[in-house]
Amino acid sequence: MWTRVKNLLLNLDDIIASLTFIGITAITIIGVFMRYVLNSPFEWIEEVSLLLFVWFAFIGISAVTKRDEHVGIDYFVRKLHGRTRVAVDIFREINIFIVVIFVFIYLGMNLSTHALDKLTPVLGIRYTFVDIAVPIGGLLALMHMIRKRITKEKSEN
């Protein structure tokens, strides 16, 4: 039971990112077909695409954190050796940690709560449902960062 919950939590970002990517692709294809072939566009396509794209981007941050595949210029870091490289790695981890905690979780929650009264023009969806992806992605990324740090410390001992 706990293994299934653990696996679900570890893969939740991948599942959400995959579903949102599939949704964006399907909606775009449907939108193009309806607009240019049937000459009868759906008005809601842009809103749903925006919602899915925001979720894809911010949950994707968590998936990338899990695999340590963030975009970076690591040419010079790979040239470093010993304590200098360890110091640079620690500095990088601390900075990413601060950004995740402060920007994504704290400011994302503020953004979400301030969007309670704001609705999308066509479907009337609260922007909170769009904006809540920011702190959720941050929380999932934080979970992966903590898990990686714990497993790294266990392997060093």
Instruction: Give pLDDT tens digits for 64-101.
Output: 888 877 666 677 777 888 888 888 877 877 877 788 78
Q: Whole-angstrom Cα distance, residue 19 to residue 56?
A: 8
**CA proximity to 137, closest of 71, 57, 22:** 57
Query: How many other C-beta atoms are found inside a 10 Å radius of the C-beta of residue 36?
Result: 9
Over residues 124-146, the mean pLDDT reads 90
| Higher local confidence (pLDDT), 145 or 121 | 121
Q: Quick one: CA torsion of 31, 34, 39, 41, rounded to 10 degrees?
A: -50
Residue 157: the pLDDT is 62
pTM (global) more than 0.85: no
- Helix H segments across 33-132? 45-67, 75-79, 82-98, 108-114, 128-131
